[in-house]
C-alpha cells in the first residue's frame, strides 16, 4: 500500500520532494487539486467537501494506507472531522495526518517564546494555530499575519513583485519574534527572502519554520511509533504524481519545484 500526499495545488510538491529524499524506499502518490486551487479564500464547508473527495480517491483508487494532508487550509477545514467522523465509519483501518500539530510540536521542541505566522486568510481566520498552541504551551506568543498575495504570486511567476509585499507583511509582525512559521505549502518558495528581509528589518536572527523540513522527520517518527501501519506500506520507490487539472504552466511550475521533469497525469475528479 502507498502513502498519499494531498494538497490544493502544486505547493505540496515541495514537501513531497523532501519526503522522497528522506524516505526513498516508500511509495508516494501525490494528488494536487489544481482544478479548484486556491482553497485559501473558500469557506470551510467547501474546503471540507473538496478535500473529502480527494481523500476518497487516494484511499479507493490509489490504495493509500496513510494520507498526509500537506495543505494547511485543508488540514484546518477537514482533518479533525475526517479523523473523528469519516474514517471510523468508512476507512477504519486507514490513517490521515495533517501539518499543523507537527509544526507546533517543533515550536515547543525548539523552545521559542515569540513567533510569527504567515498563512492564507482561511488559516489565519480559523485561529487554529493560536488555539492548538495555547493547548500545548499558553506562554508562547503567536503573531499571525494573513499573507494572501503570496500564493497568486508564486502561481503566476511573480517573483519580481514580491519584495515590497514580503517587507510589508513582515513589518506587521512583532519585532522581537525569534521565528516565522511558513503556514502554507507554497511559502517555502520564499524561505530565504522572508528570512533575509525579517533579519534586515528586525536587526536580529530570525529562524524560518518550514514544513518541508519538518514533515519528513515527523512522518518517520509516526511510522516508527506505528509499526502496524509501516508493515502495510510498500517499499518499491514508486512515485506517482496526479493533478485534477493540467496546464503547460502547471507542468513548468512542477518541474521548477522538483528541479527536474516529473511524469504528471491528469485525473477526472
| Site residues (vs ligand DGL, CB under 6 A) | 7-9, 11, 37-40, 71-73, 120, 123, 151, 184-186
Minimum CB separation from ligand DGL for residue 161, in Å?
18
**Rounded Cα gap, residues 76 and 106, in angstroms:** 18
Residue nearest to ligand DGL as judged by C-beta position = 40
Cell of 66: 496513510
DSSP string computed for the chain: -EEEEEESSSTHHHHHHHHHHHSTTS-EEEEE-TTT---TTS-HHHHHHHHHHHHHHHHHTS-EEEEEE--HHHHHHHHHHIIIIIHHHH-TT-EEE-SHHHHHHHHHHTT-SEEEEEE-HHHHHHTHHHHHHHHH-TTSEEEEEE-TTHHHHHHTT-GGGHHHHHHHHHHTS-TT-SEEEE-STTGGGGHHHHHHHHHHHHSS--EEEEHHHHHHHHHHHHHHH-HHHHTTS--S--EEEEESS--HHHHHHHHHHHTS---EEE---
**Rounded Cα gap, residues 168 and 164, in angstroms:** 6
- Closer CB to ligand DGL, 214 or 233, in the complex: 214
Minimum CB separation from ligand DGL for residue 82, in Å?
16
Minimum CB separation from ligand DGL for residue 222, in Å?
20
- Closer CB to ligand DGL, 70 or 233, in the complex: 70
**Rounded Cα gap, residues 227 and 229, in angstroms:** 5
54 flagged as catalytic = no
Strands 207-210 and 264-266, how do they pair? unpaired
Minimum CB separation from ligand DGL for residue 123, in Å?
6
- Closer CB to ligand DGL, 10 or 173, in the complex: 10
In the set 29, 54, 64, 184, the catalytic residue is: 184
- Closer CB to ligand DGL, 15 or 233, in the complex: 15
Minimum CB separation from ligand DGL for residue 230, in Å?
26
- Closer CB to ligand DGL, 76 or 233, in the complex: 76
- Closer CB to ligand DGL, 37 or 194, in the complex: 37
184 flagged as catalytic = yes
In the set 54, 64, 71, 232, the catalytic residue is: 71
Minimum CB separation from ligand DGL for residue 40, in Å?
3
| Residues annotated as part of the active site | 71, 184
Amino acid at each position: 500500500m502507498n502513502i498519499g500526499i494531498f494538497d490544493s495545488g502544486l505547493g505540496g510538491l515541495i514537501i513531497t520532494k523532501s519526503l522522497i529524499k528522506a524516505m526513498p524506499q516508500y511509495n508516494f502518490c501525490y494528488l494536487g487539486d489544481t482544478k479548484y486551487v486556491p482553497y485559501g479564500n473558500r469557506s470551510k464547508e467547501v474546503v471540507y467537501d473538496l478535500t473529502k473527495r480527494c481523500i476518497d480517491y487516494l484511499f479507493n483508487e490509489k490504495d493509500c494506507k496513510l494520507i498526509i494532508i500537506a495543505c494547511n487550509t485543508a488540514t484546518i477545514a477537514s482533518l479533525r472531522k475526517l479523523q473523528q467522523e469519516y474514517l471510523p465509519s468508512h476507512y477504519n483501518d486507514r490513517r490521515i495526518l495533517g501539518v499543523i500539530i507537527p509544526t507546533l510540536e517543533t515550536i515547543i521542541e525548539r523552545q521559542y517564546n515569540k513567533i510569527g505566522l504567515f498563512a492564507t486568510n482561511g488559516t489565519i481566520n480559523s485561529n487554529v494555530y493560536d488555539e492548538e498552541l495555547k493547548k500545548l504551551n499558553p506562554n508562547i506568543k503567536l503573531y499571525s499575519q494573513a499573507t494572501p498575495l503570496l500564493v497568486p504570486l508564486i502561481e503566476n511567476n511573480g517573483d519580481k513583485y514580491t519584495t515590497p509585499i514580503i517587507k510589508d507583511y513582515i513589518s506587521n509582525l512583532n519585532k522581537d519574534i525569534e521565528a516565522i512559521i511558513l503556514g502554507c505549502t507554497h511559502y517555502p518558495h520564499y524561505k530565504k527572502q522572508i528570512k533575509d528581509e525579517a533579519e534586515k528589518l528586525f536587526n536580529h536572527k530570525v529562524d524560518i519554520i518550514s514544513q518541508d523540513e519538518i514533515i519528513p522527520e515527523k512522518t518517520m517518527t509516526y511510522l516508527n511509533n506505528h509499526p502496524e501501519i509501516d508493515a502495510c506500506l510498500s517499499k518499491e520507490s514508486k512515485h506517482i504524481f496526479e493533478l485534477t487539472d493540467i496546464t503547460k504552466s502547471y507542468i513548468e511550475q512542477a518541474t521548477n519545484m522538483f528541479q527536474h521533469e516529473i511524469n504528471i497525469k491528469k485525473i477526472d475528479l
